Every structure is written in C-alpha cells, then in structure tokens.
Amino acid sequence: MRNSLATRAALLDAAVKRFARDGYDDVGMRDVAGDVGIDAALVVRYFGSKEQLFEAAIDSCFDGEHFWEGDRADFGRRIADQLVFGAAKKPGKMQGLSIILRSLGSAKALEVVQRSCVQDFMQPLTDWLGGDDAPVRARLMAGLLMGMSIGREMTGGPQTLSQEHCELLRDRLADLLQSLADG
C-alpha cells in the first residue's frame, strides 16, 4: 500500500477487528501489522504506541455525534424514539462496545477507556445537563442509554414487540430521559 491514508485506514480496521475479538492484552502491534501485510514499524509510525492505536480503534467505532444537540424540550421523546424505532446501530458501535468489554480486565486499557469516555462523552453530557447534580444525572442517563442500546441488540429491536408495546416503551423512556435532562 503506497497511499498513507489507505495504510492508516487498513491498520485501524485491522486493529478494531483484533481488539474486538481478542481484547487489549492479547493483541500485539505485530498482529495488526501482519493482518495488513506490512512491517510493525509502520504501526508505530502511524499510531505511536499500542495504547494510542487502542484509543484510535475505540474512537473510530463511535461517530462523535452528540445526541444531546438539538432542542432540550423534546430531548426525551427524540432520543427514546431513536432507541425504540430507529435503525439498528451500525456494526462499528457494537464492535466498539466489544472492544471495551473484552479489554476492561487490562489496567492500561481501562485507563484509556475511562479517559476517552469522560473526555468524549460524560464531561460534555454533564456540561450540557448543567446544575449541581449534573454528574449524577449524566451517569444515570448514560447507564439507561447503554442498557437500552445493548438490550435492543440482544432482543432484536422493535420487531419483537407489538406496535402498542413499542409506543408504551418509547413514552416511558421519553419521560425518564426528559426528567434527567430537565433536572
């Protein structure tokens, strides 16, 4: 591969697949390089360290979209509607979750995951929520969103419920989310 952007993208894709399957501790730079058919020194050139490669792999799985952007007044309904009726999560998001879950046993990986989660999600969400209890509401909201997202993937989404039950689920979830957003 002569194109540096293509090489970097291929390395990142290989890293995502490896970390999602094997976790942080069981993936080496040579493994990732071997999957792409290049020398391991190029992984260091593009990413610096295994830790930086791991962080890039996690970041690449999430699109950086901030679900809290938009009108606060309809936040709960908008997000609940997406969780219940929206399209299934893109595969990358589930790979990102797999990377995180398979790597939490590693102290180094846990440090990266926590830093990334706080910097890219929890702190911006806490700031958006505002108020003295914003950190508590942010944790509750994050847990609810993650649980609902995982549950949706595990149970097959809205097609496993009647339309009436989907609407009831959306409405109750919307109330919970809105109460957390409003404080």
Cβ pair 155, 147 in contact under 8 A:
no
Nearest Cα residue to 51 out of 3, 99, 111: 111
Indicate the domain borders of the chain: 4-60, 62-182
User: What are 14-24's pLDDT values in tens digits?
Assistant: 999 999 999 99
| Residue count of the chain | 183
- Within a 10 A sphere around the Cβ of 122, how many other Cβ atoms? 17
Q: Do 4-60 and 62-182 agree at the fold level?
A: no
What's the CATH number for 62-182?
Answer: 1.10.357.10
User: What are 85-119's pLDDT values in tens digits?
Assistant: 876 555 566 788 889 889 989 999 999 999 988 98
Give the tokens for residue 93.
Answer: 């998001």
User: Could you name the CATH architecture of 4-60?
Assistant: Orthogonal Bundle (1.10)
Alpha carbon distance 33, 31 (integer Å): 5
Low-confidence ranges of the chain (pLDDT < 70): 1-2, 63-66, 87-93
pLDDT at 62: 76
Amino acid (one-letter) located at 121 = F
Amino acid (one-letter) located at 96 = G
Task: Quote the pTM value.
Answer: 0.79
Alpha carbon distance 133, 130 (integer Å): 8
